[in-house]
Amino acid sequence: MTNEVTLLCWRCGTALESIPVPLSRLAYCPQCRADLHVCRMCREFDTKLADQCRAELDDVPHEKERANFCDHFSASSTAYVADDDSKARAARAELDALFGVDSGSPAPRPGESKSDAARRELESLFGMDEGDKKKGPQ
């Protein structure tokens, strides 16, 4: 049994099992085509530091997401960080509740199309009743 860790693309999270290790400067993700020999994929990458690198380098690469020639590069298995949109969803739910917005679309009645249901919802929003529709625009 080996303790091999699967590398994931730093950009999209695709498993990089087919990519030879150590990563060459020309290696790229087969899914999103992102360069892999990049600062963002390195164990020394640290966003808490000014130059974002823990290695003591004379010439730190400025573009952290582009392939570079850094001799200190060592691929990190924790480079991929999934987007967390839970805060955005919670904020949207609070706004919807504040303004009384139902986040779902209006449910169609039996035999009614989605577009007819949307029109009915729009007309009820503007206070149009059946009599107003028959009269037409004034």
Question: What's the number of domains the chain is made of?
Answer: 2
Q: Are residues 44 and 60 in the same domain?
A: yes
Q: Give pLDDT, residue 11.
A: 93
Q: Classify residue 137: in a domain, yes or no.
A: no
Q: Classify residue 36: in a domain, yes or no.
A: yes
Q: Classify residue 136: in a domain, yes or no.
A: no
Go through the chain and tell me how many residues it has.
138
Q: Give pLDDT, residue 130.
A: 56
Q: Give pLDDT, residue 46.
A: 93
- Of 41, 43, 39, which is closest to residue 69 (Cα–Cα)? 39
Token pair listed for 43: 């164990």
Q: Classify residue 135: in a domain, yes or no.
A: no
Q: Classify residue 21: in a domain, yes or no.
A: yes
Q: Are residues 21 and 70 in the same domain?
A: yes
- Of 73, 66, 71, which is closest to residue 33 (Cα–Cα)? 66
Q: Which amino acid is at 53?
A: C
Q: Give pLDDT, residue 32.
A: 94
**Tens-level pLDDT at each residue, the chain (138 residues):** 444 668 999 999 999 999 999 999 999 999 999 999 999 999 999 999 999 999 988 888 999 999 999 999 999 999 998 877 788 888 888 888 887 766 565 667 788 887 888 888 888 888 776 555 555 555
Q: Classify residue 52: in a domain, yes or no.
A: yes
Q: Are residues 33 and 66 in the same domain?
A: yes
Q: Give pLDDT, residue 1.
A: 44
Q: Give pLDDT, residue 73.
A: 94
Q: Give pLDDT, residue 87.
A: 82
Q: Are residues 78 and 110 in the same domain?
A: no
Cis peptide before 61 (omega within 30 of 0): no
Cα 119 to Cα 130: distance, rounded to the nearest angstrom: 13
Cβ atoms of residues 55 and 44 within 8 Å: yes
Q: Are residues 78 and 108 in the same domain?
A: no
Q: Which amino acid is at 99?
A: F
Cα angle 6, 11, 13; round to 5 = 35
Q: Are residues 29 and 57 in the same domain?
A: yes
Cα 5 to Cα 98: distance, rounded to the nearest angstrom: 46
Q: Classify residue 8: in a domain, yes or no.
A: yes
Q: Give pLDDT, residue 135.
A: 53
Q: Domain limits at 110?
A: 86-130
Cβ atoms of residues 69 and 76 within 8 Å: no
